[in-house]
Structure 1
Amino acid sequence: MIINVNLLRNSRMNEHPFRWIQLRDFIPLKTAQELEEKFPIHSLRESVGREGHYHLHDMTLVDQDEILPETLELPAIWRDLAQDLSSPEYKKIIQELTCTNLDSCQLKVRLCEYQSGNWMLPHTDRPDRVVTQIIYLSEGWQPEWGGSLDILSSMNEEDIVQRLYPLFGSTTLFVRSDESYHAVAPISELSPVTRKTILIQFIAQSDKS
């Protein structure tokens, strides 16, 4: 695999205010640099929440465990990553780390880009989003550029338990609950780069995705 799965095997999740973890160096430096260089920005589409609670650009790579045809047209490193994330071995590793049964879940993988001024307001994910993982691909990101994933203790954006900046090559995982409040801080106009991420979700089959 081109990702550091041993990092997942040897880690334990935080329990407050819900189960979450951030891990550095999840993707080796050279691999992360190649993924960022070949990030398919021009294939992304604008996505705005119906109630205005988020604004970003995205593209789906994997849906319902299936690697999509457009993914197969991307550079080899992206195809390799899609294969790794779709493997039964990877699903088992995530299941063991999160202590969550994912047998009834299917994988969805999206590329997301937050541009200047983009954001996501405090929320909890839909109940069918059982486990979410985010991989960060913006080299040299600085805290003053915003874009942090804020772990919250309530729907109030000021109730920050932990502010997780999008460190290059790092990853964040969390298990969905009724209290798994989180948000993405707005991207500053001062940021010279966009916030590029890979969003990985294990989705319960009982509900539509």
Structure 2
Amino acid sequence: MSTPLVSFDRTTAEDDPFRWYHVRGTFAPGDAKALCETFPRDGFRMVTRTGSDKSYTMYHRPLHPVEGGETDTAGLAEPWRRLVAEVTGPAYRAAVAELTGLPLGDAPIEVNVWRYGGSCWLDPHVDKPEKLVTHILYFNEAWPEGHGGDLLLLGSSSGDDVVRRIAPLSNTGVLLARGENSWHAVERVREGAAGLERLSAQVVFTRAYRHGRTRGPNTPRS
């Protein structure tokens, strides 16, 4: 049996400003480096919205599921094919369920990758009720302080009510369980450093609805 790629051994449960999990040392150092160096670059599209509930601009590529319920591995390097296979498998599902205490046995899984360039952002919001838990993984080997792009955990719906900031640094991540007060946002990435992008992946467990109805996999989410 191969060693799991994703580890939760250095995960801490936090309660400020709501229950969330800070994941450190997600990968072995060699795996973290390989994933950063081969982060997908093709197949993204800009998604943007300005509305009363949530506004954003970023670049998005779904990896699982895509049309027909398949996994999109086109152009993915081997480390990423391995990662997608693992996070859509039973051992990873069981590990997230044990950590969070959530019943994830039949929860559909979505896997997406995101790029935030200059002036990309995500407004304060609480995830929609069909979303159970999201594992956000970061893939920037370095991220300059003061350049924006931090995940902001908020005490309220105000973008100024910042309780915790999480920089998008490689080999770290967060697990966010959906709650009525789990307000969060992504700080606008500042213009300036040419080519600098905030790189992340998300694994999302959603509620299973009757007749197999779930949220469409290509709909942008936090």
Q: Same fold (TM over 0.5)?
A: yes
Query: 2:117: which partner in 1?
Result: 115
Residue type at the aligned position of 1:27: F
Residue type at the aligned position of 2:158: N
> Once the 2 structures are TM-superposed, how far is the Cα of residue 50 of structure 1 from its aligned partner?
5.1
Query: 2:158: which partner in 1?
Result: 156
Residues 148-190 of structure 1 deviation map (CA, whole Å, 9 limit, x = unaligned): 1000011001111111111222111110011110000011113
Residues 107-161 of structure 1 deviation map (CA, whole Å, 9 limit, x = unaligned): 1000000001100000011111100111100111122111110000110011111
Residue type at the aligned position of 1:104: D
Q: TM-score, normalised by structure 2?
A: 0.85
Aligned residues: 205
* Contact 2:56–2:122, Cα closer than 8 Å, also in 1: yes
* Contact 2:42–2:75, Cα closer than 8 Å, also in 1: no
Residue type at the aligned position of 1:5: S
Residue type at the aligned position of 2:116: Y
**Change over 3 Å in CA distance of 1:204–1:147 after alignment to 2:** same
* Contact 1:72–1:79, Cα closer than 8 Å, also in 2: no
RMSD: 1.9
* Contact 1:141–1:168, Cα closer than 8 Å, also in 2: no
> Once the 2 structures are TM-superposed, how far is the Cα of residue 99 of structure 1 from its aligned partner?
1.2
Structure with a larger share of its residues in helix: 1
Query: 2:49: which partner in 1?
Result: 49
Pair 1:204 & 2:210 matched: no
SS in 2 for 1:27: coil
Query: 2:197: which partner in 1?
Result: 194
> Once the 2 structures are TM-superposed, how far is the Cα of residue 80 of structure 1 from its aligned partner?
0.5
2: CA distance between counterparts of 1:137 and 1:6?
17
* Contact 1:24–1:167, Cα closer than 8 Å, also in 2: no
Which residues of structure 2 form unaligned runs of 5+? 216-222
Pair 1:36 & 2:36 matched: yes
* Contact 2:7–2:27, Cα closer than 8 Å, also in 1: no
> Once the 2 structures are TM-superposed, how far is the Cα of residue 47 of structure 1 from its aligned partner?
1.0
2: CA distance between counterparts of 1:139 and 1:73?
22
**Change over 3 Å in CA distance of 1:6–1:53 after alignment to 2:** closer
Residues 82-120 of structure 1 deviation map (CA, whole Å, 9 limit, x = unaligned): 111011110010011111111231110000000011000
Counterparts of 1:91-102 in structure 2, within 5 Å, are 91-102=93-104
SS in 2 for 1:13: strand
Which residues of structure 1 form unaligned runs of 5+? none
2: CA distance between counterparts of 1:56 and 1:47?
6
Identity %: 27
Residue type at the aligned position of 1:167: L
2: CA distance between counterparts of 1:167 and 1:6?
16
SS in 2 for 1:5: coil
